[in-house]
Structure formats: structure tokens, C-alpha cells
Amino acid sequence: MLNKKVMTITSSNKLSYRDAFMLIIKRDLTIAFRHRDDILNPIIFFIIVVTLFPLGIGPEASTLSRIAPGIIWVAALLSTLLSLDNLFKSDHNDGSLEQMLLSPHPVFILVLAKIIAHWLVTGLPLIFIAPILAVLLHLNENSYGALMLTLLLGTPVLSLLGAIGVALTVGIKKGGVLLSLLVLPLYIPVLIFATSAIDTSAMNLPYSGQLAIIAALFFASLTLAPFAVSAALKVSTN
Amino acid sequence: MLNKKVMTITSSNKLSYRDAFMLIIKRDLTIAFRHRDDILNPIIFFIIVVTLFPLGIGPEASTLSRIAPGIIWVAALLSTLLSLDNLFKSDHNDGSLEQMLLSPHPVFILVLAKIIAHWLVTGLPLIFIAPILAVLLHLNENSYGALMLTLLLGTPVLSLLGAIGVALTVGIKKGGVLLSLLVLPLYIPVLIFATSAIDTSAMNLPYSGQLAIIAALFFASLTLAPFAVSAALKVSTN
Amino acid sequence: MWKWLHPYANPEVTYHFTGKILPWFVALTVITLSTGLVWALLFAPADYQQGDSFRIFYIHVPAASLSMGIYVGMAVAAFCSLIWQLKLADASAAAMAPVGAVFTAIALLTGSAWGKPMWGTWWIWDARLTSELILLFLYLGVIALHNAFEDKNLAGRAASILTLVGVINIPIIKYSVEWWNTLHQGSTVSKLGKPSMTIDMLWPFIFCFLGFALLVTTIICIRFRTEILARNSIRPWVRNLVILENK
Amino acid sequence: MQFDSISDFFNMGGYAFFVWLAYGATAVMLALLVISSNSSFKKMKQQIAQRQKRETKLRQAAQLQRTLELEHDQQEQQAEKNNSKEVLS
Amino acid sequence: MSITNSAFPLISAGKLTCIREDRILFEALNIEINAGDIVQVEGPNGVGKTSLLRILAGLSEPFEGKVYFNNKLINRNRELFHQNLLYLGHLPGVKGEMSAQENLSFNLALHGLDSEAAEQTLQEVNLLGFEDALASHLSAGQHRRIALARLWQSKAPIWILDEPFTAIDKLGVKKLEKLFLQHVKQGGCVILTTHQDLSLPDEQVKKIVLTYKF
Amino acid sequence: MSITNSAFPLISAGKLTCIREDRILFEALNIEINAGDIVQVEGPNGVGKTSLLRILAGLSEPFEGKVYFNNKLINRNRELFHQNLLYLGHLPGVKGEMSAQENLSFNLALHGLDSEAAEQTLQEVNLLGFEDALASHLSAGQHRRIALARLWQSKAPIWILDEPFTAIDKLGVKKLEKLFLQHVKQGGCVILTTHQDLSLPDEQVKKIVLTYKF
Ligand code: HEM
Ligand SMILES: Nc1ncnc2c1ncn2[C@@H]1O[C@H](COP(=O)(O)OP(=O)(O)OP(=O)(O)O)[C@@H](O)[C@H]1O
Ligand SMILES: Nc1ncnc2c1ncn2[C@@H]1O[C@H](COP(=O)(O)OP(=O)(O)OP(=O)(O)O)[C@@H](O)[C@H]1O
Ligand SMILES: [Mg+2]
Ligand SMILES: [Mg+2]
């Protein structure tokens, strides 16, 4: 019924790297948008965690403004951490991950696409919502620029490093909390430099040094993480 | 080969409520102890989250001691929240939950047993580890008693209320962050009264009022939550 | 360069070889460590500023530096296991992780016990202390990952990846924590600089340091042998060995 | 010898609690590490021995399975024969 | 009260209608299953077999219609019904973190059966030697065998089994079929779906054939 | 290069040994599969069929031994091998959140096939009318059919299928068998496991029989 030719060993039926990359991004975004929740939830978690602190600590503006950068960044860390579970777990559970590993493309390209899609859905929205929460926490007025910039450069690092942790734990039944043990220590440098940049900016001092380091972290993890992730995936699906 | 009698419609082959309760607790603890990690991980998460704050906020003892109660309680909230996923999700995914709902016992007993096992594994250890973290955060010396008491009464409430949220989201593929959206607002009263009790104790004032309210929350949720959970489970496995 | 390693890359040979040298290590450890500790506790002079609390020094510093040294060793082993697929490297990395974690914990605990009388607090968020704490987390992560996989070989590879990512992280943490800290307050207390020790303090220290280092080697050796058995449990030589010992 | 008496030694110049806490905790942790390392070595050998025993059990089970399969095949052949007989008659 | 003395069918359903996604799967279905029946629900993929079985087990609610157990509404007599029901769905309900024996013991105990019998029962399903292996380390078929082992001990007369033969090898299927025969001979009933041909005698097996309804 | 001209077997394995949990599943297994072969891996539950298939597909590493594709080591020529391989495991790799058509389009595109053909291909597996239904709202068999639909478009000569007939109704099984025949006639090969009897002519099907080895 289908007009097929004789089978051949071939290397032609293959997408370009760019097409494969776009295909995965498109798919992951489709799935995320299918449930709108996937996009709203990290934001809402972020908002709730940030609002827990005034409730737990008390409403004094001076204390809050003192601790605002730390709280916003810790909340960003945690909300990324929570959303990481979606990155490979569901694909592993229904066998799609296996299929991706078997596809005729370098695994790191597919992995990179998945990480970027994850960041678009969970990291990017944080950057837009953070200034509003900063107002609630009486963040110093000089610090908004630094807050946005550190989030813009820092959240991709969180997604990239987090992906390594998820890839290592994806085959393990209850990886949920193990994941945080693996990933949170890796997040600490980002946390320290980012909050330090914001604190410096509050004193109206230049914070380009810290920003440069975060940028360096970003490029380092962008180039190295996809390889670590694909190696880890091969191990944990074995 | 097996010497079976003629089948009868019977109501005899049934455990007592107590036996059924113990059976479930034993099973859940076995599973938790099978991977020791299950018990260590919430503690480690708790410790790591608490250490993130000094890193994000800075090392001054005075600031830290001011916000210590809030941080410890928020960390307890979050680590309970993260561990909630284990409560019904894995049972749902492998069909055990279905089997439990089909067992000849009132569902709320099974549910209560599961919640208590969950608390034993995730809530109880927090109470032992909290004082050490309080030292790291330079908590006021008068407040240790209040910290322990509020945790002892408060963490079961977290498990009980959390179970309702998990039961409602168990049928949904990606309930992870939706769960926090449902559950964290329910946790806010506990958080407020507990931190207020600790703050009061730091000033050497009596905090029995706050403690009484937490106790009331505890008893209310202990009696009502199992029913809410079993109703929710029936809906979400339909 | 790897040629000379080859005979020892055979698990059976390595197992028997380590079995032969182990008693010597045990004896050396006992001698050195007990000499060092007795010297440190009884004969070394008290510090003129810190008094007898200075005796904590003799375990604190060896433990602290070994905790870092073991991580470096583990990272080297992880690297070898990933690049050259040396199963023995894998086993040695697995043997090192718990030992390193315990020494990190000892450094933290002894440091705290020293900090309370010296600084008046059990803990401050100082650069060195904080990075040591994070080192403990990294160790725990590696151990947890080892335990999470049933298949020892897979566990080894997964943990190797994590160890290497962590080793890149360590200098960053150390550096970042220092910088972060100096922004808020000068770290005045812990930067004692290298204490120019008198010779009667130096000798017990050297003995303690050597003793702890030997102890580490001994324990790692025992655990290494366990790991070898675990990874080769279907090999005939392991089976025969077990049968022989059970008789 | 830096100390004049035993009690002096235990007192550690007023730092007794901290010094002995440090030394005591270290001793306990190291002892635990050594003991657990040793016992896990022994446990590993026991485990391997146990597995060998389990294997013999498995071998027997496999034997059983094989005989069952044989029986099953024979039964089927028998049944086929019977069928063909019926058809013939 | 022995079943054979009961005047009522073991399980019956009146005017069952099931609608999923605005599609009517079946409409006004009447079912009556007596002791001694082996009922095979047949039909192509997606016709509604699983949906029907879940409704009969009380796991889903039908759009319309009622399910009776021994002439009593099942939702009104949940506990009694569940004491007399054994349902195995697509998911085996076996925990990967527990060993084969622990899984079976728990399953037996939960349903009020003798959990001591677990080891012996594992032999029935050819898992001898795997008692202590974690279930997650077993093959697809061995995994399902743990769930199926309960059948050998069950005293419940009503068995509802959704594709019990999935991943089971031929010898296993034979053994299960034999067990079904024995079960109905003792006064039980079996309701099952499967896409394989049963090798049971035709007169033993009643069929409920579902067809696409658009 | 056409396969039929190739001097080498499509896929071959030398001295494969697989060990799980200290149990030797198979030892020093040599396999050679040529264009035109349908190979059924047979054996009771837990004997190691899935393990073998995963090793052949390069998803697991054998304890010892090597797998060759067209006489090249598969790990050295990963991309080329994967372009010529279609593997379907126990898990169908279908996302519940996407519709049947989206799932199939993605699967086709990922393997460099024409994703436009998705709608037409769904017709082949009897999912006409369900194109836009979310996969999670389909029945067990329909779910698997989405995964199987890829077979109709695949240009890869090597098919490795682990229990492809699970949950598929009889008509579906017939159709699949026909497709396998057509595939090998065109110079492909099929390696599969199943516990059901194949209704293909015996001379068409080669068997690899695994037995318990302890
Ligand atoms: C929990 C608290 C502490 C931790 C985690 C800690 C950790 C460390 C670390 C990681 C080192 C480096 C070892 C090396 O470079 O080889 C070190 C060395 C040292 N520590 Fe601590 N320490 C703590 C408390 C203290 C206290 C309270 C004192 C004394 C008042 C102290 C005195 C020293 C000295 C003298 C050295 C050797 C410095 C050198 O020669 O480089 N430490 N400690
Ligand atoms: N993840 C695992 N970890 C350890 N051992 C495993 C694992 N998976 C399978 N095994 C072991 O390997 C053996 C073979 O499993 P495999 O899945 O290959 O069997 P199979 O032939 O496919 O059986 P089935 O017909 O039941 O699908 C099993 O007996 C089991 O003991
Ligand atoms: N969770 C669900 N939500 C919405 N619709 C569903 C759901 N599950 C099944 N359906 C619909 O109900 C129909 C019947 O599904 P069911 O699982 O009962 O089929 P089945 O007869 O068991 O098929 P199979 O032989 O494939 O197992 C399907 O066609 C599907 O469209
Ligand atoms: Mg079905
Ligand atoms: Mg299989």
C-alpha cells in the first residue's frame, strides 16, 4: 500500500543539528503550554516562598530590605529546583527519553534544547516577576538593575547545572530529595555572587566584577553541562 | 493442589482496624528504610536550605539571629512539601493505591497510617536536627524550647494538611508545583503562630497562647484530614 | 605510562597485594598515631595565648587538610575511571567517599569545639568554615549517589561525573565564599596566618598528621577491598576465595 | 610531661569540655568508621556466599521448570494424537 | 451463606452507560454474572473494556446505571463488596522497593489472607529463588507474576482481571487458565479481558462483546 | 549502498555475556542477523529477552562482548547505527500531554522522516478520529498504537521490537505481522519478542531460544 523502496543502509535521513534542536524546543514548549500550569506554577511557587518570609520574620521594612536579595535568590533557586523534576523524569517514565537517546542526533544537542526550553518556561518568567516581589520586600532602589541582570545571567546556570543532577537521578525511583542534595551545593557560587552583586549595587558601587564571574559561570556551564548531562543520561538509563 | 473450599460470600476474612493500620505503617517504613536515603534526604535538604540563607544574606550574627525562627520554619515547610510527593504518587503510579482503595478496610484508616509513617520519616528527624541548625543561625538562647515544641506540634499538621493537597493532585501528571500552590497557603497559619511563639519566647514572655492554637490546629487536622484525604483520593483515581 | 600500572589493574592481583600490605599499614598507623596523640596531649607545651585548647590543633588541622586531600584523590580516581574506564579507579573512588566525609565532619566538629572558647561562638559564616561545610555536602551527595544505584559499576560512573563537576566547584566555592565574606566583614578571627610553631609543637603535629594520613590509607584500603569484591562477585576467584574462607 | 597531676590533665587548663569533646567525638567517629568498614568487608563475603547458596536453589528451580515444560509438551502431543484418532474414527 | 445457595447473581449491572470524552462507549448495558461463570469482555482496542471493568469494580462511576453485588448496591456496601472482590488492573500494584516476598505478604495481609503462605505461593508462579530480589530488578513478566500470585490464595469469589496475561509466558498462561477453571468450579466467577485466544473450552467462557458505537 | 549488496550481516554480536544481579543470563552468545530475517527471541519470563534486545540496540552495555552493525562497532558509529535502527521497548515513548498526531509527527521528525504523513499513518493503525485526542485519554492499546504507527513510515532496515503485540487486538496483530513480512521482503530485518504465537509461516521466522542458565 505504501510505496517503499528496498531498504538501504543510509545516512541521509537525518535532520540538521539546527532542525533537531528546534524540534525538541518546540515539542517541550508545546507540552508546557498544553498545561498552562507548567508555566504559572514556578512563578506562583516563587511568589509564595517569597511571601512566606515576611510572614515568618515580621514586617519591618529595614530587616526585609536587608535580606531581600538573599530571599529572592534563594526562592529562585528553590523554584528552579522544584521544576527540574519535569526536565527528564516524565520523559524517562514514558520511554521518550530512550527514544531520544536512540535518535540519530548527538545527544548533547537534544539535551541542550531541553534545558533551554526548561529555562524559557521556568527561569525567564522569574525575571519578569522578581521586580514586583522586590517592591514587596523593600529592596533598595539602586538594586533593581543588578537584580534583573543577575537573574538573567544566573537562572540559565541554575537550569544547566540542575540538569546534570536530574540526569544522574532520573533512573532512581525517589530521586526528589536526592536531587536537591546533589544540586544545591552546585548552586552556591551563583547565589553568593548574585547576592553580593545586588548588595554592592545597593551601596551604589560598581558590581561588574561579580557580574563578570556569573557570566563566566554561564558560559562554562553552557559549554560543559550538555556533555556532562548526556554522559549522565547514558549511565542512568543503562 | 491447594485445598480450597467452595467460595462463599463472606465478611470474615478481614483484619481488625488496628492490624490494618499497623500493616500499612510497617510497609511504608520498610520502603523508607530500604533506601536509607529516604530518611536522610529530607534532613539534608532541611540543612542545606537553612545554610543557603546565611550565604545569601550575609554572615552577621545579629541579622541571622533576628530571622532564625522564620528561616527554620520556612525550611521545615519546604522540606515537608518536597517529601510529600512520596506520599501517594508512587503508590498511584504502580497501582498500589488502587489496591488499597479496593481493600476491605475503611480508607481513612489506611490514609492515616500512611500520613503517620510519612511524618515519622520526614517530620520527626527535623525536630532532632533543628537545634543544631539553630546554633548555626545564632538563635536566641531562650528560644530553643519554643522551637522544639512548635516543631513537635506543627510538623504533623504539615504532613496532615499536605496529604490533602497530594491526594487532590495525585491523578495529575505534573502535580509538583500545583501541589505547593494548594498546600502552602494552608501552611501559613502554622508558620505564623510558630514563629510568633519563638519570637515571644526570645523575649522571655509566655508563649502558651500560640502553642494552644497550634495544638488546636493539630487536633483538628488529625481528625478531619484523613476523611478529606480519602474523599480526595476517590475523586482523583476515578 | 600506563604500562607499569597494568599488572595492578587486575582486580585479583590488587586484592591479594593490598591484603598483604594491609597488616603493615595497620601496625604503622597504630605506632605513629598513638605516639602523636600521646605527645600532643601530654608532652606538647600549651599555647601561650590559647592555653590547652590548642591541643585541638593536633587533630583539627590534619583532619581539615586530609578532608580536602581525599577529595582530590577521589577526583583523580573519578577522572581515570571515566576516561580510561578503569574499574579499579572506580572502586577506589567509592572507597574514599565515606572516609572523606568522616574527616570533613571531624574537621567541622573539632573546629567548632575550638571556636567556642576562642571566638565565643560555635559557628561563624567565615570563608573557610563555609567552604568546609559545602565540602561535606558534596561528599554526602557522592555517597548518596553511590547508594542510590544498585549496580556498582553504574553507581561508580554516575558518582564520577558528580565528583568531577564538584571538583570544578570547589575552588569556585572557596574563592566566592572568601569574596562574599570580605564584603560584609573583614574575616579577622580565623586568619591566624601560619602559626610559627616551635619545634616542640611541630614534632607532635608531624606525628599526628602522619598517623591520621596512615589511618586514612588503611581504612581506604579495607573499603577498597570490599568494593573489589562487590564488583567481581561472579568471578571464579572471588567464589573460590569465599568458599575457602567459609570452610 | 606538661601536667602535674591526673586531674590537671583532665582539666586541660580549664578547656576540658572543649578539648575532650573534640578528642572524644573524633575517637567515636573514627571508631565507627573503622568498625563499619571492617564489618562491611565481612558482610560482603557473607553476601557472596549467600548468593552462591541461592544460585543452587535457582538451579533446582530451573530443573523443575524444564521437567514441567517437557511434561507439558508430552501432554500436548498426547492430546494431538487423541484428536487425530477422533478424526480418523 | 454459600454462594450456591444465593438466589442472586454474584455481580450484576443494570443499564450501564459509559461516556468518555463525549463518546458513548456503551449504553444501557445489562450484565448478570453468576457463580461458575468465566466472562471474557471482548472488543477491539479502545472500545471500553477497561472502562467497563473499572465500573464493575467500583473504581469509576458510570454515567448512568447501577452495579449490584449479590443484589446490593456496591457503593452502599463497599467493605463487604471489597472483601469478596479481587481486581487486577493494567498496573500490577507491586512496589519496586520491596522484595517479591514482601510484596506478596503485604498484598495477602491487606486482604485478610494468610501472609505466611507467601513463600509457598511464589513457587506457584515460578518465582522460587527470586523471593528476596527487589521487584524493580525483575523482568516485566516476573513483575506481573508477583501481582498474580495473590490469585492462588484468594478466597474472594469475584475476580476482575484486566489483561492478566500481559507479559506472561505460555506456560504461565496455561497455569492461569487452569486456576480460573478451578476457581469457578468452586463457585467463584472470573471477569477478564484479553486479546489472546483463551484455550478454555468454548462452553465454559461467556463473552461480552463490545463494539464501536458512534 | 544497498543492503543486499553488503557482504556483512546487518547486525551481529560476538560473545555476548549479560549478568544481572550476579546471575548469568546468557554467556558467549553469538548472533548474526541478515537482511530478510525475522528473528523471534523466545524464552520464559525473566530469562533475559529484554536484556538482550537492549544490548543489541545499544541501550545497555553487555558485561562482555561486542555488537556490530554492518561490521562496525555500534558504540563507535552511534549516529549511523541509530539512523538505521528502530527500537520499541516495553514503554511506548508516547507523551500523554500531546495528541496522537502531535506524538507521531514528533517521532517521525526526530528520526528524519516526513512528519506530514502522520495523519495518513494514523489511519493505518485505526486511530482515525482520535488524531486530536490527547494520548493520555486513549486506551492501553490505542496508546501503543501511536508508538507502533512509526513502523509504517520507517526507512530503517533494523527493527527491534520488545513485545510489540502487548495490548493490541487481534486484527492489529495480523496487520503488524503483514507489515513485518513486507519489511523483510524489502531487505530489512525484524528482531522481536512476544509470548503469543506468531501466525507467520515457520520458515520465515528464525528463533533465538534463551533458557535459564545457572
Ligand atoms: C567549624 C570550624 C572550623 C572549620 C570548619 C575549620 C576548617 C579548617 C580548614 C579547612 C583548614 C585548612 C587546612 C589546610 O589548609 O590544610 C583549617 C586550618 C586551620 N584551622 Fe580551622 N576550622 C575551624 C575552626 C578553627 C578554629 C576555631 C581555630 C582556632 C582558633 C582554627 C585554627 C586553624 C589553624 C591554626 C589551621 C591551620 C592553618 C594553616 O596552617 O594553614 N580553626 N581549618
Ligand atoms: N533493573 C534490573 N536490575 C537488576 N536485575 C534486573 C533488572 N531488570 C531485569 N533484571 C534481571 O534480569 C533478568 C532478565 O530480565 P529481562 O527483563 O531481560 O527478562 P525477559 O526475558 O524480558 O522477561 P519477560 O518475558 O518477563 O519480559 C530478570 O530475571 C531479572 O532478575
Ligand atoms: N482517562 C481517560 N480520559 C478520557 N477518555 C478516556 C480515558 N481513558 C480512556 N478513555 C477513552 O475511553 C475509550 C475506552 O477506553 P478503555 O481503556 O476502556 O478501552 P479498552 O477497551 O480497555 O481498550 P484496550 O484494548 O486498548 O485496553 C478510549 O477509546 C478512550 O478514548
Ligand atoms: Mg484496556
Ligand atoms: Mg521483557
Three-class secondary structure assignment of B106-173: CHHHHHHHHHHHHHHHHHHHHHHHHHHHHHHCCCCHHHHHHHHHHHHHHHHHHHHHHHHHHHHHCCCC
Q: What digits encode the pLDDT tens for the residues F13-30?
A: 989 999 887 778 898 899
Q: Which residues of F18-30 are buried (b: 16+ CB within 10 A; e: fewer)?
A: bbbeebebbeebe
pLDDT of the residue at F102 = 93
Task: Point out the residue among A178, A192, A195 whose CB comes nearest to the CB of C177.
Answer: A192
Q: What digits encode the pLDDT tens for the residues D55-68?
A: 777 778 778 877 87
Is residue B103 over pLDDT 90?
Answer: no
Atom number of ligand 3 nearest to Cα E49 = 21
Strand F72-73 and strand F64-69: pairing? antiparallel
**pLDDT, mean of residues B151-166:** 95
- Range with the poorest average pLDDT among B8-12, F90-94, F172-176: B8-12
Q: How many CB atoms lie within 10 A of CB C239?
A: 17
Is F109 an 8 Å CB contact of chain C? no
Domain ranges for chain B: 2-236
Q: For residues E116 and E122, what is the distance between their CA atoms, to the nearest angstrom?
A: 11
Q: For residues A234 and B13, what is the distance between their CA atoms, to the nearest angstrom?
A: 48
Q: How many CB atoms lie within 10 A of CB C246?
A: 11
Is E93 an 8 Å CB contact of chain A? no
Is residue B151 over pLDDT 60?
Answer: yes
Under 8 Å between Cβ of C130 and B57: no
Under 8 Å between Cβ of A183 and A151: no
Is residue B1 over pLDDT 50?
Answer: no
- Compute the mean pLDDT over every residue in chain C, rounded to the nearest whole number: 86
Question: Residue D87 class from Cβ within 10 Å (0-12 exposed, 13-18 middle, 19+ buried)?
Answer: exposed
- Is residue C49 one of the residues assigned to a domain? no
Q: What digits encode the pLDDT tens for the residues C88-139?
A: 999 999 999 999 999 999 999 999 999 988 888 888 888 888 899 999 999 9
Q: For residues A111 and C180, what is the distance between their CA atoms, to the nearest angstrom?
A: 33
DSSP D4-33: SSHHHHHHGGGTHHHHHHHHHHHHHHHHHH
Phi, psi angle pair for A12, to nearest 5° = -95, -35
Is chain D adjacent to chain C, meaning 3+ CB pairs within 8 angstroms? yes
Under 8 Å between Cβ of E109 and B15: yes
Which of the residues in chain A have pLDDT under 70?
1-14, 37-38, 174-176
Quote the cell numbers at residue D81.
Answer: 494424537
Across-strand partners of F87?
A: F160
DSSP state of C20: H
**HEC profile of chain F:** CEHHHCCCCCEEEEEEEEEECCEEEEEEEEEEECCCCEEEEECCCCCCHHHHHHHHCCCCCCCEEEEEECCEECCCCHHHHHHCEEEECCCCCCCCCCEHHHHHHHHHHHCCCCHHHHHHHHHHCCCCCCCCCEHHHCCHHHHHHHHHCHHHHCCCCEEEEECCCCCCCHHHHHHHHHHHHHHHHCCCEEEEECCCCCCCCHHHEEEEECCCCC
Q: How many CB atoms lie within 10 A of CB E129?
A: 22
The pTM of this model reads 0.89
* Secondary structure class of E134 (helix, strand, coil): strand
- Is residue C109 one of the residues assigned to a domain? yes
Domain ranges for chain E: 99-155
Is F197 an 8 Å CB contact of chain B? no
Under 8 Å between Cβ of E61 and E55: yes
Give A42's contacts (C-beta < 8 A, 6+ positions apart): A79, A80, A82, A83, A121, A122, A125, A126, B177
Is F37 an 8 Å CB contact of chain A? no
Q: For residues F20 and C154, what is the distance between their CA atoms, to the nearest angstrom?
A: 12
* Secondary structure class of E207 (helix, strand, coil): strand
Q: For residues B53 and B136, what is the distance between their CA atoms, to the nearest angstrom?
A: 11
Percent with pLDDT over 90 in chain B:
57
CA of B56 to the centre of ligand 4 (A): 52
Quote the cell numbers at residue C141.
Answer: 551527595
- Is residue D1 one of the residues assigned to a domain? no
- Is residue C140 one of the residues assigned to a domain? yes
Q: For residues A137 and A72, what is the distance between their CA atoms, to the nearest angstrom?
A: 9
* Secondary structure class of E111 (helix, strand, coil): coil
Closest approach of A206 to chain B, Cα-based (Å): 19
Which of the residues in chain E have pLDDT under 50?
1-5
Phi, psi angle pair for C231, to nearest 5° = -85, -15
CB contact under 8 A, C46 and D3: no
CA of C160 to the centre of ligand 1 (A): 28
CB contact under 8 A, A185 and C138: yes
Angle in degrees, CA F168, F173, F176, rounded to 5? 115
What residue type is F36 in one-letter code?
A: G
pLDDT of the residue at B3 = 41
pLDDT of the residue at A1 = 40
What residue type is B137 in one-letter code?
A: L
Q: Whose CA is nearest to atom 1 of ligand 3?
A: F137
Handedness of CA F35, F36, F42, F46 (dihedral sign): positive
Q: Given pLDDT bands bounded at 50, 70 and 90, which one contains residue B31?
A: confident
Place of cell 566525609: C101
Q: What digits encode the pLDDT tens for the residues F120-179?
A: 999 989 898 898 999 988 999 999 999 999 999 998 999 999 999 998 999 999 999 999
Place of cell 501466525: F199
Which chain E residues have a beta carbon less than 8 Å from that of B99?
87, 93, 107, 110
Quote the cell numbers at residue C204.
Answer: 607532635
pLDDT of the residue at F2 = 40
Residue of E nearest to A171 (CA): E136
CB contact under 8 A, E93 and B93: no
Range of the domain at D72: 6-88
Under 8 Å between Cβ of E17 and E63: yes
Alpha-carbon distances, residue C137 vs A188, B32, C105, C246 (angstroms)? 11, 22, 10, 39
CB contact under 8 A, E98 and B13: no
pLDDT of the residue at C191 = 41
Q: How many CB atoms lie within 10 A of CB D78?
A: 10
- Range with the poorest average pLDDT among B4-8, B118-122, C52-56: B4-8
Q: For residues A189 and C179, what is the distance between their CA atoms, to the nearest angstrom?
A: 11
Starting at the earlier edge strand, list the strands of the sheet with F64-69. Answer: F23-33, F11-20, F64-69, F72-73
pLDDT of the residue at B6 = 57
Q: Residue F209 half-sphere exposure, CB side, CA atoms within 13 Å?
A: 2
**HEC profile of E32-100:** EECCCCEEEEECCCCCCHHHHHHHHCCCCCCCEEEEEECCEECCCCHHHHHHCEEEECCCCCCCCCCEH
Q: For residues C209 and C204, what is the distance between their CA atoms, to the nearest angstrom?
A: 8
CA of A100 to the centre of ligand 5 (A): 21
- Is residue D43 one of the residues assigned to a domain? yes
Quote the cell numbers at residue B113.
Answer: 497510617
Taking alpha carbons only, the member of F53, F35, F143, F163 closest to residue F96 is: F143
CA of C42 to the centre of ligand 2 (A): 61
pLDDT of the residue at C183 = 53
DSSP C38-80: HIIIIISPPBTTTBGGGGGHHHHHHHHHHHHHHHHHHHHHHHH
Q: Given pLDDT bands bounded at 50, 70 and 90, which one contains residue C19?
A: very high
DSSP state of E19: E
Is B30 an 8 Å CB contact of chain A? no
Q: What digits encode the pLDDT tens for the residues C146-188?
A: 988 888 888 999 999 999 999 988 888 878 888 777 654 443 4
pLDDT of the residue at C196 = 58
pLDDT of the residue at B126 = 93
Q: Given pLDDT bands bounded at 50, 70 and 90, which one contains residue B175?
A: low
Selected for mutation to probe chain F from E24, E45, E54, E99 (highest F CB count within 10 Å) is E45
Q: For residues B16 and B104, what is the distance between their CA atoms, to the nearest angstrom?
A: 10
